[in-house]
Amino acid sequence: MEGHKRPRVFVKFLAVFLFVTLILILYYNNIERTSSLSSTLFQHRPRPGRLKFLSTHVWSTNIPTNFTGKIVKERSGSDGNTRKHSVVKRKSFNYTFNYVETVNCKKMLKGNKPELDRAKSFLSNNYRNSISNTWYFVKTKNCDSFISERGYVTDSLTSEERDFPIAYSILMFKDVEQFERLLRAIYRPQNYYCIHVDAKAAEDVYNAVRGIVGCLDNVFMTRKYVDVQWGTFSVLEPELICMKMLFKYKNWKYFINLTGQEFPLKTNYELVKILETYNGANDMEGTVRRANKARWSIVGVSPPHNIRPVKGSVHIVVNRDFVDYVLNNKTAIDFLEWVKNVDVPDETYFSSLNHNPHLGIPGSYKGIPETTKDKKPFLARFKNWGREPFDWPCKGKRVRLICIFGVGDLPLLSRRKEMFANKFYLNFEPFALDCLEELHHNKTRDEYLGLVKFNTSYYQGLDFIKNKV
């Protein structure tokens, strides 16, 4: 009898073992399946401090877009970029609530000192590795998987956004992850994006960016790579290259130029509402009073066409007609030749065109060309230079005067009226970028669900809207 019991015990043990094994397999397969559905905004594996997703719900819509999602194995686009295939096969938006692990972003955005201190303490004892360029190169071999995992919004979301396409340029030279997070935040299928990678960039940066661009039909890389050097025409040249590439797409309304170290303070819906309120007005910094006029006098001759030089930022928000003027008008072309000989041409060219109303450029400013915090604010970009009119306390660190934003700057950033913030370092207090990303995603979700409305009354009263050409 004893000999018969042992096989029975063994059989029971084996059955229990197989049952438990099956349960574990099903459990982990379910986790993996759920994870693959989630649009992970930061990376391909969990890491402290990144967004964590709750259960995923994917919304599909029948709103038409310009992109049919037709599968093509490989083709060469008119911009010279090879497209592996279009990923816009199903227009969707992941509207889960996203939050950063390890810290409480809501508290930090409200300026909660204990939470801010806790975040800084955590960062001082933990180092975060960025996503490697090789990962992007490999992952973008399967575009559908890449777009899904990284959480790109592949639908216009609203008819208002669909009918108001925006054209962007992005200049970058390093930190592919940071660039890609910026692109993902502003990406919509109705918009257009021109990417310029600096000629000095490493080969693996080029390869990673090419992979990302190859997965998105409305994102392009420039054929020419400029070695960008501060204070020279090379800073302005990539912007003009991108303007020319983007202008052949006929339906976009406004052009916004960015760099890879910036991040949006407004959602795409909010940007559209603001730009609709602008009603063709251009948004640029301008000053004569604060300008270093020696930069202009070195040319030795006066500017052509009675143009008064005005200093301003290279960062601009301009209507399509302004871009047309820059590319095709003889006055703009003549002035560009003069500007090439000044010091820091990028701080003279766009701003001067916008603040000489006798040129008749649509959307340009008829008032006194002096940016202020109240009457004529510069809303294309929030930059903290530590001097008027761009002077605020910097809770991060200053590098060559400009504030590199840290977690302590989050309360200020969350209240700003500007469209984008400059600048962030990927590995300096990264919770700052993480929390802005959380805020941006969740605002997009709430706007789609109709939970929040955007008030444009501040923008309606701006002087550069009332006094535009």
* Per-residue model confidence (pLDDT) at position 155: 94
What's the one-letter identity of residue 235? V
Please choose, from the candidates 280, 277, 265, 466, the residue with its C-alpha nearest in 3D space to the C-alpha of residue 376: 466
Q: Which two tokens stand for residue 96?
A: 């889960």
Cβ-Cβ contacts under 8 Å for 137 (sequence gap 6 or more):
204, 207, 208, 211
386: alpha, beta or left, given left = phi > 0 and alpha = psi -120 to 50? left
**Exposure pattern of 179-210 as b/e (b: 16+ CB <10 Å)?**
bbbbbbbbbbbbbbbbbbbbeebeeebbbbbb
* Per-residue model confidence (pLDDT) at position 23: 65
Cα gap 417→420, rounded to integer Å? 9
CA max distance for the chain: 113
* Per-residue model confidence (pLDDT) at position 54: 30
Instruction: Report pTM.
Output: 0.82
Query: Could you tell me whether strands 219-221 and 192-197 are parallel, antiparallel, or unpaired per DSSP bridges?
Result: parallel
Cα gap 269→275, rounded to integer Å? 10
> What angle in degrees, to the nearest 10, is found between the helix axes of 330-339 and 320-328?
70
Q: Which two tokens stand for residue 458?
A: 């501040």
Q: What are phi and psi of 259, to 5 degrees?
A: -120, 165
* Per-residue model confidence (pLDDT) at position 16: 72
Is residue 347 annotated as a catalytic residue, yes or no? Answer: yes
Q: What are phi and psi of 436, to 5 degrees?
A: -65, -35
* Per-residue model confidence (pLDDT) at position 177: 97
User: What is the chain's pLDDT, residue by residue, as a tens digit (469 residues)?
Assistant: 444 555 666 767 777 777 767 666 655 444 333 333 333 322 222 233 333 333 222 222 222 233 233 222 233 343 444 333 333 334 566 656 677 888 999 999 999 999 999 999 999 988 888 999 999 999 999 999 999 999 999 999 999 999 999 999 999 999 999 999 999 999 999 999 999 999 999 999 999 999 999 999 999 999 999 999 999 999 999 999 999 999 999 999 999 999 999 999 999 999 999 999 999 999 999 999 999 999 999 999 999 999 999 999 999 999 999 999 999 999 999 999 999 999 999 999 999 999 999 999 999 999 999 999 999 999 999 999 998 999 999 999 999 999 999 999 999 999 999 999 999 999 999 999 999 999 999 999 999 999 999 999 999 999 999 999 9
Alpha-carbon distance values, 268 to 110, 420, 440 (Å): 23, 11, 9
* Termini Cα distance of the chain: 103
What's the one-letter identity of residue 199? A
Q: What is the set of domains in the chain, with CATH numbers?
A: 133-466 (3.90.550)
Catalytic residue among 237, 270, 347, 447: 347
* Per-residue model confidence (pLDDT) at position 101: 83
Is residue 20 a contact partner of residue 12, using CB atoms and an 8 Å limit?
Answer: no
Element spanning 403, H or E: strand 402-404
Q: What are phi and psi of 442, to 5 degrees?
A: -70, -30
Please choose, from the candidates 444, 438, 454, the residue with its C-alpha nearest in 3D space to the C-alpha of residue 93: 444
> What angle in degrees, to the nearest 10, is found between the helix axes of 431-448 and 176-186?
20
* Per-residue model confidence (pLDDT) at position 15: 74
What's the one-letter identity of residue 309? P
Q: Sign of torsion, CA 387 390 395 399?
A: negative
Alpha-carbon distance values, 4 to 11, 14, 17, 18, 379 (Å): 11, 16, 20, 22, 85
What is the number of other CB atoms lying within 10 angstroms of the CB of residue 253?
Answer: 16
Cβ-Cβ contacts under 8 Å for 294 (sequence gap 6 or more):
343
